[in-house]
Every structure is written in C-alpha cells, then in structure tokens.
Amino acid sequence: MTDQRTDVLISEVGPRDGLQSIGTIMPLAAKKAWIAAEAAAGVTEIEVGSFVPPKLLPQLADTAEVVAFAKTIPGLTVAVLVPNARGAEAAIAAGADKITLPLSVSETHSLANLRRTHAQVIDEARTIAALIAALPADRRPHFEGSLSTAFGCTLEGAIPDAQIARLAESLMTAGCDEVGLSDTTGFADPSAVRRLIRLVRGVAGDAALTGIHLHNTRGLGLANVLAALDCGLTTFDASLGGLGGCPFAPGASGNIVTEDLAFMLEAMGLRTGIDLDRLTAVRTIVADALPGEPLYGFLPDAGLPLGFRPATSLAA
C-alpha cells in the first residue's frame, strides 16, 4: 500500500478504533475536519468508521457519511471495519476502498464481540468475498481478515499457535486478499510478534501479511512495531493521541500513538510521507471536539530533538 515516495504506511484508525471506545459522540463536522487535516499532514490511509448497528456503537452511526466525505480527498485510502456481510454491503455501497473483517482467534471473545462462532465468521468472510468478486474490477475494495486477540485474550489467555494458523488459512481460503495481526488486548511482546508473523506468513504467504494492529496497553507498542518492521511488515495501525481501545476487552485500552510512531519511523530513516508538525497540530481538532478526553503521546510533550531531520523531508 506504500507508494514510491514512502517506505512504510501508517494507517490511522482513530476515527474508528479511537471513537468506538469512548462515550462521547464526535459530531460529523469534527470527524470530517480531523480526517481532512490528517490527510493534509500526509496520512494516506484512514479507517474512518465501522458499519455496525448504530444501537451497538452510536459513535459510528454516521460512517456512511464519513466515508462519502473521505472519498472526496484525493489519494486517501478510505478503510472501514465491518462485523459481517451486511456491514460489508453497506461499506461497498458507501464506496470504501478497504474493508476489514475482524475474526477473534479466541472463540470466547468472538462470541462476546461479534456474537459469532469462528465458523460463522468464516462464512461471513466467504459471503463478503463473493460480494466483492461480483463487482466490476475497478470498484472492488481490498478485503482484509484481521486476526484479533492474536496475542492473547482477556477471557481465554493465550491462544494456541495452531488455532491461529488454521484461522489465517481459513480466512485466505474464504477469499480475503490479506490477513492482519491484531493485538486487541495489548498482550503482545516483540518475541511473540516475530513468532506470529512467521507463523501466519508460513500458512498464508508473505504477501498476505503486511500489516499489524498494535496497542500500547503495557508500553511495548513501539518495541512491537520494531519487531514487526524487522520481519518486513510495512503497514502499522495507530491512533492520533492514542485515542481508543476495545470496549469488549476490559483493560485493553490504548492504540499506539500515531505521532510517536511516525516520529520513530522518520527518525529511523523510514519515509512515512507525514509532516510531523502538521500531524501533531491535528490534536487540537480532536481535543476541541472531545473535551475532557485524555490524549496520549510523548512527542507532543517533548518536541522534536534539536536538529532533527525527518526521512520524508530529506526525500522531498
């Protein structure tokens, strides 16, 4: 998903994963301003919402309108989450570029989160793949199956590797273009990241695993990114200000912070395409729209090191 001018892709998930975990409902106008400002800062993929029943997540009830707006931004990949084929239909109708279906490798968590067994979720994946295949080639969204709670579940604990491998294979067989690894619960550590990347690539192929969704619940978020980078992954989810988490996994708060992630990658000489100052300035929009909601991040407090030269600016 990276173009010739970038080495890594940061996928902003704040408008979905961030907003779904907090009580306050962000007004549509603020969502638009956030997405527009972050795209203007150089972020080229944003997960803008989730097609779930509004009763479950009223924060994301306006996802169709958000997608329609985001689609007007040139060069932006507009991603959405869907819990099932009905959500995928809505996502396709709205014109989403990328559709992610989460499959919790913990069946207990799957039942709690999506109210579905593994077999039922795989069926949904198959139906979604068929919906997409029926579209004209130039209108087909990218379809990712995301292995959530891959690093352990707050209800079940560790999940056997064999079960994760089997589910990754099932998602690919069902017709996903790609699988992703998701540390829904913040249980991951760098060794586990490396082990699961090797495991999933072993069954799905290297090209079928390029991205990872990490949380910073126990402070290891960026170390886990480094482990994944070393394995060749190129797409990293993050949330502006570290907003968000998973409302169905108690204690599992805290996406990695987009600003800190972008800083680390740029400092390492990896081009993200993002302007760090403009990115940090986007916090004001989120803070103003969500009064009292804490925002996280080290870079915004510490500022850039003296003489810092981001990789992206060097390439320009």
User: Which residues lie near a copy of itself (CB under 8 A)?
Assistant: 152-158, 185-187, 189-192, 216-220, 222-223, 225-227, 230, 251, 257, 260, 263-264, 267-269, 297-299, 302-303, 305-307
Q: Considering the complex, what minimum distance in angstroms separates the CB of residue 14 from a copy of itself?
A: 17
Q: Cα separation of 13 and 258, whole Å?
A: 9
Provide the CA 51 distance to its chain's centre, in angstroms: 15
Rounded to 5 degrees, what are φ and ψ at 16? -105, -70
Q: Considering the complex, what minimum distance in angstroms separates the CB of residue 262 from a copy of itself?
A: 11
Q: Cα separation of 72 and 233, whole Å?
A: 29
Q: Considering the complex, what minimum distance in angstroms separates the CB of residue 260 from a copy of itself?
A: 4
Selection from 85, 111, 114 nearest residue 99 by Cα:
85
| Packing angle of the helix pair 28-40, 63-70 (nearest 10 deg) | 30
Asked if 298 contacts 54 with a C-beta cutoff of 8 angstroms, the reply is no
Selection from 78, 74, 81, 75 nearest residue 66 by Cα:
78
Known active-site residue 231: no
Question: 153, 176, 231, 246: which one is catalytic?
Answer: 246
Nearer to a copy of itself, 50 or 106 (CB): 106
Number of H helices, E strands in the chain: 14, 8
Q: What is the dihedral of CA 104, 105, 109, 111, to 10 degrees?
A: 80
Nearer to a copy of itself, 96 or 222 (CB): 222
Selection from 205, 299, 204 nearest residue 257 by Cα:
299
Both structure tokens of 120: 């039922």
Q: Considering the complex, what minimum distance in angstroms separates the CB of residue 299 from a copy of itself?
A: 5
Nearer to a copy of itself, 145 or 273 (CB): 273
Nearer to a copy of itself, 52 or 276 (CB): 276
Q: Considering the complex, what minimum distance in angstroms separates the CB of residue 90 from a copy of itself?
A: 34
- Catalytic residue annotation: 246
